[in-house]
């Protein structure tokens, strides 16, 4: 079976389902389908054997952040840019509203399946809106859709997406986020740090994307911590990375070197 870039969303769900307790995603298993285990084994062998747990750490980090916000905010809106098969709304407070944005293919498939899962009692019903939009292009649609939620406290989450966008597109997306958020609202982002580019594991990753995913056009963008701390409209509140979180939870060996993993950094920013 051929593999395409949008299939990465299925692979990530597979990772989260493989370690549901660690990822804190008990619903990722709903997206399992034939072929994923084979791809996972191939990726582990050709690129990195730690990528499954890395992705679980990412979900866990943002789950914990969102859970805290659910407790603190009566009216909370999560806007998930490039949501893929992310399942935060179904295990977090039923009061959190969610706007999930992705390309048509993913949105149509996901919203149809979610309806089925809810009807069959496999998922609790949650206030989730699914929106087809390109986050790099459809600013008016995004702005209008977010504005419908009035004075909710807003969080825009962008995870697993920046690697696929050019630096110029990322700058534009973040600047548009600033215009859609109110002071105090949050922007949460994920990216690889620039240093990763010097590692063999990164070379293996880019090679895999070009060869297996037929995606040599991919810009493979990495960013620096300074990129986030110097953003004009946001204050960087904190950041974490998958390897450090996994070590704290004793899910990675203490001596696992950062140069050997596709270590992702998670940034929590607040609109000034
Ligand atoms: C690697 S998946 C990550 C999914 C999810 N955020 C997660 O972490 O599980 C990337 C997702 O971003 C979506 N995506 C990529 N570029 C996008 C864009 N320009 N506009 C909207 N969605 C985009 C893809 O379709 C895919 O579902």
Residues 199-247 pLDDT 10s: 999 999 998 888 876 666 788 999 999 999 999 999 999 999 999 999 9
pLDDT at position 215 is 62
**Model pTM score:** 0.96
Q: In the predicted model, is pLDDT for residue 70 greater than 70?
A: yes
pLDDT > 70 fraction of the chain, expressed in percent and rounded = 96
Can you list the pairs that 252-260 forms with residues at least 24 positions away whose Cβ atoms lie under 8 Å?
Answer: 252/50, 252/53, 256/50, 259/199, 259/200, 259/201, 260/48, 260/50, 260/199, 260/201
CB of 51 closer than 6 angstroms to any ligand 1 atom: no
Residue with the smallest CA separation from ligand 1 atom 23 is 82
Mean pLDDT calculated for residue range 20-40: 94
Mean pLDDT calculated for residue range 95-103: 97
pLDDT band at 3 (very low <50, low <70, confident <90, very high): very low
Domain positions in the chain are 5-271
Best residue for ligand 1 mutational test, from 13, 80, 84 (most atoms within 8 Å of Cβ): 84
pLDDT > 90 fraction of the chain, expressed in percent and rounded = 88
Residue with the smallest CA separation from ligand 1 atom 4 is 84
Check: CB of residue 174 under 8 Å from CB of residue 166.
no
CB of 102 closer than 6 angstroms to any ligand 1 atom: yes
Ligand 1 center to residue 263 CA distance, Å?
18
Residue with the smallest CA separation from ligand 1 atom 2 is 9
CB of 63 closer than 6 angstroms to any ligand 1 atom: no
CB of 93 closer than 6 angstroms to any ligand 1 atom: no
> Could you tell me which CATH class the domain 5-271 is placed in?
alpha beta
Ligand 1 center to residue 191 CA distance, Å?
13
CA nearest to 156, candidates 190, 106, 108, 191? 190
């Amino acid at each position: 079976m051929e593999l395409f870039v949008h299939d990465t969303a299925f692979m990530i769900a597979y990772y989260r389902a493989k370690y549901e307790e660690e990822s804190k995603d008990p619903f990722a298993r709903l997206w399992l389908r034939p072929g994923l285990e084979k791809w996972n084994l191939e990726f582990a062998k050709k690129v990195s054997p730690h990528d499954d747990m890395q992705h679980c750490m990412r979900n866990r980090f943002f789950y914990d952040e969102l859970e805290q916000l659910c407790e603190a905010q009566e009216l909370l809106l999560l806007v998930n840019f490039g949501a893929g098969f992310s399942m935060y709304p179904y295990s977090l407070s039923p009061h959190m509203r969610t706007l999930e944005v992705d390309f048509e293919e993913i949105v149509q498939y996901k919203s149809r399946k979610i309806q089925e899962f809810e009807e069959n009692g496999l998922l609790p019903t949650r206030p989730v809106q699914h929106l087809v939009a390109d986050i790099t292009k459809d600013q008016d649609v995004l702005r209008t859709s977010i504005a419908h939620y009035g004075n909710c406290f807003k969080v825009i989450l962008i995870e697993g997406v920046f690697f696929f966008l050019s630096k110029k597109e990322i700058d534009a997306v973040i600047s548009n986020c600033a215009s859609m958020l109110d002071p105090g609202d949050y922007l949460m982002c994920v990216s690889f740090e620039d240093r990763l580019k010097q590692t063999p594991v990164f070379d293996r990753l880019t090679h895999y994307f070009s060869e297996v995913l037929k995606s040599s056009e991919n810009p493979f963008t990495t960013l620096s911590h300074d990129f986030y701390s110097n953003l004009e409209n946001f204050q960087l509140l904190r950041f974490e990375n998958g390897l450090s979180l996994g070590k704290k939870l004793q899910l990675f060996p203490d001596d696992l070197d950062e140069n050997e993993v596709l270590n992702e950094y998670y940034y929590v920013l607040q609109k000034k």
